[in-house]
A and B are shown apart, each in its own frame.
Chain A
Amino acid sequence: MDGTRALTPKRCLMIAGLLAVGGVAPVLLPAYQLQLTELLLFMVFALCWDLVGGQMGYNSFGNVLFVGLGMYAAAIVQVGLFYDVGLYNDARGGGTDFVFNESQFLTGLALGIPAAALVSGLAAWLLGSLVLTMRGHYFAICTLGLGIAAGQIAAGIPWIGAGSGMLTPNPPESLEHVSLLLYYLALGLAVLCTLTFAWLLSTRFGLTLNAIRDDEDKAEAMGIKTHAAKVTAWVVAAGFLGAAGALYGNMVRFIDPIQTAFAGATIGVWMILMALLGGKGTLAGPIVGAIVFQLTKELFWTYLLGWQRVALGLLIILVAVFFPSGLVGFVRDRKRAEGKP
C-alpha cells in the first residue's frame, strides 16, 4: 500500500477526466466498441486477480473459473426466464422458436448479471473454505486444476450445450445499440469495482490482506482472523468476476466451455499478465496493465499476425526484466527512492 489515498483535488480531476474519456470513447471510436468493452472487462479481471494475488499474496491461476461460472449463470437466467434451457441448447438457440423481444432481452440481462455475481460469489465461498487453507504453490496448482476441471465438467453437461457451447440470447433487431449498452454496463462495472476496491484497501481489512501477504503466520499469531479475511476477499473478487463474465459472454454471444468460459490459456493467464504488467499490489496497476495489454494485443494481432504471441511473449519478458514491479510499481518505487512516498 502506498501512503495516503486521500481524494486530493488533483486526483478528483484525474478521475473525472478518466470518466469523461470512458463516457465518450465508444461514440468517438465506434469501430473499436468491442475492443473498448473488452478492455473494461479486462480491467475488472485484472483488479479482481490482484485483490487476491497482489494484495493478499495468494496467486490464483484459476480465477477464470468465476468468469466462466458467471457467463453460464447469466446465460441460463437470460434464457431460462422465458424458455426451457435444455430445449434451447438442443436447438442451438436457433430457429424462430426462441425469439426474445425487447423487454425479455433487457429483463434477462438485468437479472442475469446480478445472478452471475451471486453464483460466482457463492462458489468462491464454498471452495474458499477448502482451497484457501492451502498456501503458496499448493494454492496456485489447486486453483489451476479448478479452472481446468470446470471447463471439462461444463463440456460434459448437455443441458448447457455440453462441448458445443451455449449461445446467449439474440438481441431483437429493434434494439439497435446493444453493443453500446454492453459497453456502458462494462464501464459501470469497472467503476464500481475500482471504487469498491479503493474503499476496501483504505480500511483495516485492506491492511489485514497485506499483512497476510507479508507474513501469514505472524498475522495469525496477532489474532487476525486470517481465514475470514481470505474468504471475504476471494468472494468479493469472484462476485465481480462473475458479473464481468456475464457481460463478456453477452459480448462474444457464444460461450464455448473451454475456449471462452473457462479459457485458462487466454483470459485466465491474461488477467495475471495485466496485473503484473501494471504492478502487483497496487490499485492503479491492474487498470494501467489492462490498457497496455489490450493496446499491444490489438496492435500485435493487427500488424504482426502470425507472430502476435511471440511479440506478446517478448513484451512480457521485457517487463519482467526491466520493470519487475510493473509500470505503476516502477513509478512508485522511483518516487519512494526520491524520498516522497
Chain B
Amino acid sequence: MTPFLKEQAMTLLLEAVGVTKAFGGVVANDEVSLAVPEGSIVGLIGPNGSGKTTLFNAITGAIPIDAGAIRFKGDDVSRLLAGDIARAGIIRTYQQPRIYGGLTTRDNVIVSTAMRTASFASLFGRARSHAEDKVEQLLDFVDLTGKAEMLAGELSFGQQKLLELAMALANEPDLLLLDEPTAGINPTLINDLIDRLKVANNALGITLLIIEHNMPVIMDLAEHIYCLAHGRLLAEGPPDAIQNDARVFDAYLGAA
C-alpha cells in the first residue's frame, strides 16, 4: 500500500499491481503499480511513449496484460473482456476522440446513456424519448446543444472530445479514465472543462484517472499524481512534490 493511501484512509476503487505489457521487445509497461481511491482525482503523467495509454488499454481490457493484476472494487478484472469491464463500471475516453461519426451528436449521447447497465430488452424503447432531460443536460454541459442535430463526424476535433466526455458521463461510470482531455480543446474552454471535470467528480461522484500533458491543468485537478517514464513508474506524490521532483523534470527534458 502506498503512503498516499495510508494518508487518505479511503477505499480503493482501482488497483494495478505489477502490470507488465511488452510489444515484442518493447516493454511498454514494466511492473507498474498504482492505486485510485474511490472519489478521488488521480493524474497520470509522463513523456510521450512512457506507457500511459498502454496502461489505460490494459485497465479497460483493450489489450491483455503479460503479468500483474488489475483489481476493480476488489475483484480481479485483468482477464475480463472490454465489454465486461465497461459494464463493471470503468469507462474511458481516447486521445483521438472516438465517437459514432454517422450518428447525430444527440444520438451519440442517447446511445450512451446508462448503456452499460441497460438490459438488452430495454433497448427496444423509442430512442428519442429515452432519458430526454438527461440527454439535453449533458449536451448543454459540454456546450453542444446547438450542434445536436449535426452528424458527430462533422464536429471539430475539440467538439468531438467534448462529445466523447458527455457520452462517457452519460454512461454513469464509477471510474472514468480520461486520455488527455484538454488536448485540442480551445484554450479559452480549458478552464470550463476543468470546472466540469470537478463537478463530475464532486456532484456525480465519479472517480477520475486522467492522463494529461498540460501541467497546470493536471496540477490543478489531481490530488495525487503518478509519473511514468520508459514504461516504469518514476515517481508519485501530491502535485507539489511531483512539480519539484528532479527525476520528473529530467524525464521530460530528456536529461540522462
Which residues of chain A have a CB within 8 Å of any CB of chain B? 1, 3-4, 200, 202-208, 210-211, 213-215, 217-226, 228-229, 281, 336, 341
A223 with B127: CB separation less than 8 A:
no
Instruction: List 11 interface pairs A-B (beta carbons < 8 Å), by A numbering.
Output: A1-B103, A3-B104, A203-B123, A203-B125, A207-B110, A214-B103, A215-B98, A221-B83, A222-B112, A223-B117, A224-B115
The interface residues of chain B lying within 8 Å CB-to-CB of A218 are 94, 98-100
B86 with A222: CB separation less than 8 A:
yes
A220 with B100: CB separation less than 8 A:
no
The interface residues of chain B lying within 8 Å CB-to-CB of A226 are 83
A222 with B167: CB separation less than 8 A:
yes
A221 with B62: CB separation less than 8 A:
yes
Query: What is the distance, in angstroms, from A277's C-beta to the closest C-beta of chain B?
Result: 19
Partner pick for A220 among B82, B104, B151, CB 8 A cutoff:
B82
B149 with A341: CB separation less than 8 A:
yes
Q: Which residue of chain B has its CB nearest to the CB of A201?
A: B127
B91 with A222: CB separation less than 8 A:
yes
Which residues of chain B have a CB within 8 Å of any CB of chain A? 60, 62, 81-83, 86-87, 91-92, 94, 98-104, 107, 110-112, 115-118, 120, 122-128, 130, 149-151, 153, 167, 171
Query: What is the distance, in angstroms, from A223's C-beta to the closest C-beta of chain B?
Result: 3
B102 with A214: CB separation less than 8 A:
yes
Partner pick for B127 among A206, A228, A281, CB 8 A cutoff:
A206
Partner pick for B125 among A204, A210, A217, A336, CB 8 A cutoff:
A204
Query: What is the distance, in angstroms, from A297's C-beta to the closest C-beta of chain B?
Result: 30
Partner pick for A211 among B86, B111, B126, CB 8 A cutoff:
B111
A213 with B167: CB separation less than 8 A:
no
Partner pick for B149 among A3, A203, A208, A225, CB 8 A cutoff:
A3
State the CA gap A207–B112 with chains docked (Å).
Answer: 10
The interface residues of chain A lying within 8 Å CB-to-CB of B127 are 202-204, 206-207
State the CA gap A341–B152 with chains docked (Å).
Answer: 13
Q: With A206-B127, A221-B82, A223-B115 in contact, is A211–B171 under 8 Å at CB?
A: no
The interface residues of chain B lying within 8 Å CB-to-CB of A3 are 104, 149
